[in-house]
Chains A and B, each alone.
Chain A
């Protein structure tokens, strides 16, 4: 029975917290990029960081609240010297993963002027919370992929930007129609 319980628990973990798998093709982009940043923060680090941050300090309290529910943060950022160094198809493998029913594309920006494409996907975490966020930001000479897995209160989403290697988000939840009931 013990073994069965362990097996069941192990099998259930991926259902609750599924990391977005970064395609192997991204590793090849690192070889072409002028500047790259890889950030990989796992659950143990995030949990621990949250535990030791003060819930009274002005700076630390919001971060502590966010960290409490997070499972992982992954950031991949590539800056190229010239255009055409990456293939938009490199992102298809990620897009395929966020096509699952629990994922919704909340923001899709296509700027012809700046030739900047931004897609933001939210995973429904139930109870009005998010279960994960994926941000794909593709510019002619820059590509940034952010994956945050875990329970996130939408109201705290903006606080994630600029921390833990995540670029600042330039959007507000209210302006894109995300509602706390997730509908």
Chain B
């Protein structure tokens, strides 16, 4: 293997490792911040591997973590506190592309990306009064642009599909 090929391989492996690592890191940070554990989704891994039709068009490799019965955040209902938390968790690694907050619905959505490429690894974190969802997904650029255009529906694309898949839990 030539040094250049080796370097390319290592860079690709590093990027893949880093993408996986980001999801786990964000999930772990939410668990620590709120003092909850993610809800186990039966056969999530199998569904992800086999049921490709469950993914919206232009997406692949969905990872999903759902947090139910979410207690109030340590900083209360302060959305700025949630912003600070997400900024700290993602600092230097993920860039917030779109952030929406609804005080009335108590809902915040963060759409973050790492390195942008032909296929982009994207992280969508949604916080509702009693539930949070963290989704990592590889999207093609068309899907990415669609999600930027309607961020409030981005997480539902994946969550609803998986809700259907496991009978709504």
Contacts and interface: CB of A to CB of B under 8 A. Distances in A.
Given A40-B96, A40-B97, A52-B140, A30 B149 contact: no
A39 B101 CA distance: 12
A164 B101 CA distance: 17
Interface in A21-54: 27, 30-31, 33-42, 44-45, 48-49, 52-53
B98 A30 contact: no
A41 B97 contact: yes
Contacts of B113: 45
B120 to A, nearest CB: 8
Contacts of A127: none
Summarize A's interface: helix, strand, loop or mixed. Answer: mixed
Nearest to A27: B80
Interface string B139-159: 011101100110100000000
Interface string B75-89: 000111001000000
Contact of A34 (B99, B104, B145): B104
Contacts of B118: 48, 52
Contacts of B102: 34-35
Contacts of B83: 30
A36 B100 contact: yes
A165 interface: yes
Interface residues of A, number: 25
A53 B146 CA distance: 12
A175 interface: no
Contacts of A36: 99-101
A30 B116 contact: no
Contacts of A49: 141, 144-145
Interface centre among A39, A53, A63 (most CB of B within 10 A): A39
B79 A31 contact: yes
Nearest to B80: A31
Contacts of A31: 78-80
Contacts of B103: 33-35
Contacts of A27: 80
B79 A53 contact: no
A163 interface: yes
Interface in B119-169: 140-142, 144-145, 148-149, 151
Interface of B: 78-80, 83, 95-104, 113, 116-118, 140-142, 144-145, 148-149, 151
Shortest beta-carbon contacts, A-B, top 9: A52-B141, A38-B99, A36-B101, A34-B103, A45-B116, A37-B100, A31-B80, A48-B116, A35-B102
Interface of A: 27, 30-31, 33-42, 44-45, 48-49, 52-53, 60, 63, 81, 163-165
Given A33-B101, A45-B113, A60-B142, 10 more contacts: A30-B79, A31-B79, A34-B103, A37-B99, A41-B148, A42-B95, A44-B116, A48-B118, A53-B142, A165-B149
